Structure 1
Amino acid sequence: MTVVVHTRQLTKNYGRREALHHLDLDLHAGEVYGLLGPNGAGKTTAIRLLMDLIRPTRGRIVLFGEDLTTGSVQARQRIGYVPGDLGLYGRLTGEEHLRLLAGLRGHPDLTDARVLAKRLDLDLSRRAGELSKGNRQKLGIVQAFLHRPELVILDEPASGLDPVAQREFHAHLREFAAEGGTALFSSHVLSEVEQVADRVGILLSGSLVVDAKVAALKAKALRALTFDFAEPVSAAVFEAVAGVQEVRSDGTRVHCRVVGPVGELVRAAALFPLVNVTSQEPDLQEIFLDYVEGEDRGR
């Protein structure tokens, strides 16, 4: 697979504060990567470094095989970008914005941009100063894909979008990746990352503590199972089962949280008059909160 983004030991300090610590990251063509983290974790710093808006304290960034530390204009021309603090010219219409940016990009064809604007239900005839936050964000998304980039870097791109626009944006992002494009986006909407991303990274206090496929991450997470029995069963029966980390008994109902395969747990339950079993798959929000709460406990 073609490596589009490659960083090694990427670090950014602001005085004595280390905002990003030794980030090692590889993104491949055709991949959508979701970057998660609480406020101040280093997400925006990482994105601004990749966009060459700020320079690293140390470390290396290679985009499309070119070392960004040399200031490669060619690499930047192949990237689309939605900043977290999108700035627009209030008196210009959406169409005028796109024409201006198309001229700067050397890509005068607005056909694709107009198609995406229509898909997102964005009126390009209105001035930016008259647009709602959601519609301003739509214009930011459209301009990022204006010049048919190979890589898009998006900081909270779905912020303010209505559910229909979110759905269309997610579909466009998946289509972009299916055609060989690469996307890196940050989000606080964990369900969004779960739906769209192939792989996810979790930043905590400037360090990348997780870098894994969503499915692999969920497979290692705690899963909640509830067993209903015809008669009361003691929680102690399940506490010694491999992978079980939490057990709570409410008479004929037993609640367990387990990591990994559940076969041994189910076999233990089957030794009693089992009436029903329900399983709740872990979602990305639970996994994320487990990591964040674990860091807080370690402080």
Structure 2
Amino acid sequence: MSKVIEVQNLTKNFGKFTALDKVNLNVNKGEIHGFIGPNGAGKSTTIRVLLGMLKADSGQVKVFDQDAWKQSVDIHRRIAYVPGDANLWPNLTGGQTIDLLLKMHGSQVNQARLDDLIQRFELDPTKKSRTYSKGNRQKVVLIAAFAADVDLYILDEPTSGLDPLMERLFQELVCEAKENGKSVLLSSHILSEVERLCDSVSIIRNGQIIESDTLDELRHLTRSKLTIQTENPVTDLAQLEGVHDLVEMDGNQYQMQIESQKLNAIMQHLSDFNLVKLESQPPTLEDLFLHHYENPQGGQ
């Protein structure tokens, strides 16, 4: 599968502070890749290097197989970037701002597409940008991004300030982009959004990538929540390998966290006590995120 973003051993220092430490990040063609981590972890710094706004101190950073620093002008013709806090020209209307952004990008404007996006986002393009709320300013840059004919969307907290209805529309547009063969790098603190949209995820902590894989593969690293009830009391449950945080309740009911790779052995043990109820909640992206941030070693 061809890569649209290929980052190898990216290091970026600000004085004595190491913002990025040998970061590796790949985004494949036609893929939605989530990029998550808390504030200060290095997400925006990585994105600025990808955009050619910052120069890497070491490592290799390529977009469309081109050097992100040396060939940034060519790269920008094929990407659309949405920041998390859009600063617009206050005396221009929303419509004028969108037109200017598209003109600066050099995209061929599809007027029907542009009009459709303005209508779907419920934006009044005749108002001055200085009168817009944060959510409406965000709509302006999103409309300009999705109206442009690009191959890659780099989105850094793009739904900041949007209401839930507009967030849903944003998600629809990202899925439409993927269906059209486009690629997306989505940096977001909304884990449910990333989980709903993304094919793969990279987690960054203190300037280092600590996990990067498909969501299905990453879920194997976390525990599922299991609630059961049996006819007979279960013995030796707390001693089973892979069982954590066991809570015993009345009526032979039990709640526990279990390691995914130990599920088969645990179920075989439970079957000896005649299961009458079984509820399982698979691990979420939030579970995975907290798993790594609460346990720096990433262990169970």
**TM-score range with shorter-chain normalisation?**
over 0.9
Conservation of the 8 A alpha-carbon contact between 2:49 and 2:68: no
Aligned partner of residue 141 in structure 2, secondary structure: helix
How well do the aligned residues superpose, as a CA RMSD in angstroms?
Answer: 1.9
Distance 1:161 1:296, change over 3 A: farther
Conservation of the 8 A alpha-carbon contact between 2:8 and 2:22: yes
1:102-134: CA deviations, max 9, x gaps? 222223525223222222222222221111111
Conservation of the 8 A alpha-carbon contact between 1:221 and 1:260: yes
Aligned partner of residue 295 in structure 2, secondary structure: helix
Alignment-derived partner of residue 109 in structure 1? 109
1:83-105: CA deviations, max 9, x gaps? 23311011211110122122222
Alignment-derived partner of residue 249 in structure 1? 248
Alignment-derived partner of residue 167 in structure 1? 168
1:50 positional shift: 0.6
Aligned partner of residue 101 in structure 1, secondary structure: helix
- Partners of 1:59 and 1:220 in 2: how far apart? 29
Q: Name the stretch that deviates more: 119-128 or 88-97.
A: 119-128
- 1:12 is the counterpart of 2:7: no
User: Which amino acid is the alignment partner of residue 290 of structure 1?
Assistant: H
Aligned partner of residue 123 in structure 2, secondary structure: coil
- Partners of 1:271 and 1:103 in 2: how far apart? 70
Aligned partner of residue 118 in structure 2, secondary structure: helix
1:47 positional shift: 0.8
Alignment-derived partner of residue 146 in structure 1? 147
Conservation of the 8 A alpha-carbon contact between 1:227 and 1:269: no
Question: For residues 213-224 of structure 1, what are the structure 2 equivalents within 5 Å?
Answer: 213-224=214-225
Aligned partner of residue 239 in structure 1, secondary structure: coil
Alignment-derived partner of residue 43 in structure 2? 43
- Partners of 1:62 and 1:45 in 2: how far apart? 15
Conservation of the 8 A alpha-carbon contact between 1:99 and 1:108: no
- Partners of 2:281 and 2:98 in 1: how far apart? 46
Conservation of the 8 A alpha-carbon contact between 1:224 and 1:256: yes
Question: For residues 52-67 of structure 1, what are the structure 2 equivalents within 5 Å?
Answer: 52-67=52-67
1:17 positional shift: 0.8
- Partners of 1:65 and 1:134 in 2: how far apart? 35
Conservation of the 8 A alpha-carbon contact between 1:102 and 1:110: no
- Partners of 1:160 and 1:87 in 2: how far apart? 13
- Partners of 2:288 and 2:16 in 1: how far apart? 31
User: Which amino acid is the alignment partner of residue 36 of structure 1?
Assistant: I
Aligned partner of residue 192 in structure 1, secondary structure: helix
1:156-196: CA deviations, max 9, x gaps? 00111111111111011011012111110111110000001
Aligned partner of residue 152 in structure 1, secondary structure: strand
1:256 positional shift: 1.8
1:230 positional shift: 3.6
- Partners of 1:146 and 1:276 in 2: how far apart? 51
Identity of aligned residues (%): 34
Conservation of the 8 A alpha-carbon contact between 2:5 and 2:62: yes
Conservation of the 8 A alpha-carbon contact between 2:229 and 2:276: yes
Aligned partner of residue 124 in structure 1, secondary structure: coil
Conservation of the 8 A alpha-carbon contact between 1:246 and 1:256: yes
Question: For residues 136-215 of structure 1, what are the structure 2 equivalents within 5 Å?
Answer: 136-215=137-216
- Partners of 1:89 and 1:268 in 2: how far apart? 66
Conservation of the 8 A alpha-carbon contact between 1:60 and 1:69: no
1:70 positional shift: 1.7
User: Which amino acid is the alignment partner of residue 4 of structure 1?
Assistant: V
- Partners of 1:38 and 1:287 in 2: how far apart? 14
1:21 positional shift: 1.0
- Partners of 2:67 and 2:102 in 1: how far apart? 26
Conservation of the 8 A alpha-carbon contact between 2:292 and 2:298: no
Aligned partner of residue 184 in structure 1, secondary structure: strand
Alignment-derived partner of residue 122 in structure 1? 123
1:52 positional shift: 0.9
Aligned partner of residue 145 in structure 1, secondary structure: helix
Alignment-derived partner of residue 3 in structure 1? 3
